[in-house]
Amino acid sequence: MELTKYLRKSITKVLTVSTLCSALIVTPSTAFAETKSEFRLAWTIYVGWMPWDYGATSGIVKKWADKYDIKIDIVQINDYVESINQYTAGQFDATVMTNMDALTIPAASGVDSTSLIIGDFSNGNDAVVLKGTDNLADIKGQNVNLVELSVSHYLLTRALQTVSLTERDVRVVNTSDADLVAAFTTDDVTAVTTWNPLLSEITAMPDTNKVFDSSQIPGEIIDLLVVNSDVLADNPKLGKALTGAWYEIMQTMQGDDAKATMARSAMADASGTDLAGYDAQLASTKMFYDAKDAVEFNNSPALLSTMDKVAEFSFEHGLLGEGAADAKFIGIETPTGVYGDKSNIKLRFDPSFMQMAIDNKL
């Protein structure tokens, strides 16, 4: 399979806050606040983000953009990290990313960003796998191969906590997502943390055991559509068009009728798998097909608690920048309160556009 199929969550050390800040200085920004009529959204291949490709090819996004007399260009980027880097530098008005990456890249680089749509959370798509044992506690003393500083790294720390271990009890081995499957076939590699579709390939190997997965920390690895807050404030039509298009796509792809099957088949083909493979990935993804469910999740106090955990992990691993004195350096605004510095809010979970979908006001 192509490397691009695995790039949803690969955050590497080269993409530090200082690197991104330099990009912001030297790269002209097209996403600064102003009223405008043309916008760009970047997306990368992942089960929960394939609907954007379908929305573009089916004409659904254009339909909603035309309704508000705007143009939305949906652009595929082959590297997930680079898509966020370009968004942070102002080359895109919106892009898809996880909640952790929204904090550690644009927010940590000073770009005020809004989670416009909560699309899903990983509900088994990410896991810790061991050879020769089904006991997570046996991971103690082992090398664990994973993409360092990614959500796989975060998942590992959460898994270790459940058996009273810490990162000091294992040795993290930074391994490219392109190399993980091959590495696990060798005798030297006995533990990995990764995500689908890599996870499915690894767990199909003999003598392997999935000992912890993201369904055990539901709602912590969240997939978002993020929009530059200033752009959104000056151009609410963009938020309305994107939200309207998203929930039309969600309605279209559900079920087993011909239209839904055709839509998911198109998404499967674009992501390099077949319908059965794509549906299997959807099965371990908690998709918020209904705006009501997404808003309920967005408004839950659990979201604030999750971002507390994410911020602590990010600070401990140096992902909030050299100027961060503690995990609360960056303010994260949710409907139930603000985590961190209220005078430095750079990440906002705003349910207002999803609520418009519920109220039929789009």
Spell out the domains of the chain, with CATH numbers in brackets: 3-121+221-358 (3.40.190.10), 126-216 (3.40.190.10)
Q: How many residues does the chain have?
A: 362
pLDDT digits (tens, 9 = 90+) for 263-272: 999 999 999 8
Closest C-alpha among 140, 147, 164, 166 to residue 98: 147
Label residue 31 by pLDDT band (50, 70, 90).
low
Rounded average pLDDT over 344-352:
98
- DSSP H/E element including 331: strand 331-334
DSSP 107: I
Percent of the chain exceeding pLDDT 90 equals 83
Cα Dmax for the chain: 59
Instruction: Give the C-alpha separation, 64 to 346, whole Å.
Output: 28
Q: Is 283 a residue whose pLDDT tops 60?
A: yes
Question: Can you tell me whether residue 276 is helix, strand or coil?
Answer: helix
What's the sign of the alpha-carbon dihedral 101, 104, 108, 109? negative
Enumerate the β-bridge partners of residue 129. Answer: 192, 210
Q: Is the distance from CB of 252 to CB of 265 less than 8 angstroms?
A: no
Between 14-28, 34-48, 96-110, the lowest mean confidence (pLDDT) is in: 14-28
Query: What 3-state DSSP class applies to 169?
Result: helix
- Amino acid (one-letter) located at 223: D
C-beta of residue 55 within 8 angstroms of C-beta of residue 246: yes
Residue 24 has pLDDT above 80, yes or no: no
Look up residue 139 and give its two tokens. Answer: 């991971």
Residue 256 binned pLDDT confidence (cut-offs 50, 70, 90): very high
- Residue 45 CA to residue 235 CA, distance in Å, equals 27
Contact 297, 288 (CB under 8 A): yes
For range 313-319, the mean pLDDT: 95
Predicted confidence (pLDDT) at residue 5 exceeds the cutoff of 60? no
Q: Which amino acid is at 287?
A: M
- Mean pLDDT computed over 329-358: 98
Average pLDDT over residues 197-209: 92
pLDDT at 25: 38
Q: What are the Cα distances from residue 63, in Å, to 100, 253, 277? A: 32, 17, 29
| Confidence band, pLDDT 50/70/90 cuts, at residue 6 | very low
pLDDT at residue 12, rounded to an integer: 40
pTM, 2 dp: 0.88
Q: What integer pLDDT is reported at residue 198 of this predicted model?
A: 86
State the average pLDDT for the chain: 91
For the segment 254-277, the average pLDDT, to the nearest whole number, is 95
| Range 321-326 average pLDDT | 90
Whether the CB-CB separation of 156 and 214 falls below 8 Å is answered with: no
Regarding predicted confidence, which is higher, 198 or 88? 88
Cβ atoms 328, 322 nearer than 8 A: no
Backbone φ/ψ region at 108: left (φ over 0), alpha (ψ -120 to 50), beta: alpha
Rounded to the nearest 10°, the torsion over CA 48, 50, 53, 58 is: -100
Confidence of residue 78 (pLDDT cuts 50, 70, 90): confident
Most confident of 17-31, 166-180, 298-312: 298-312
Q: Angle, to 10 degrees, between the axis of helix 291-299 and the axis of helix 301-316?
A: 60
- Any idea of the CA torsion for 194, 78, 235, 251, to the nearest 10 degrees? -60
The letter for the amino acid at 320 is L
- Chain centroid to CA 201: 21
For β-strands 113-122 and 285-287, DSSP reports them as antiparallel
What is the average per-residue pLDDT within 195-202?
87
Q: How far apart are CA 143 and CA 131, in angstroms?
A: 12
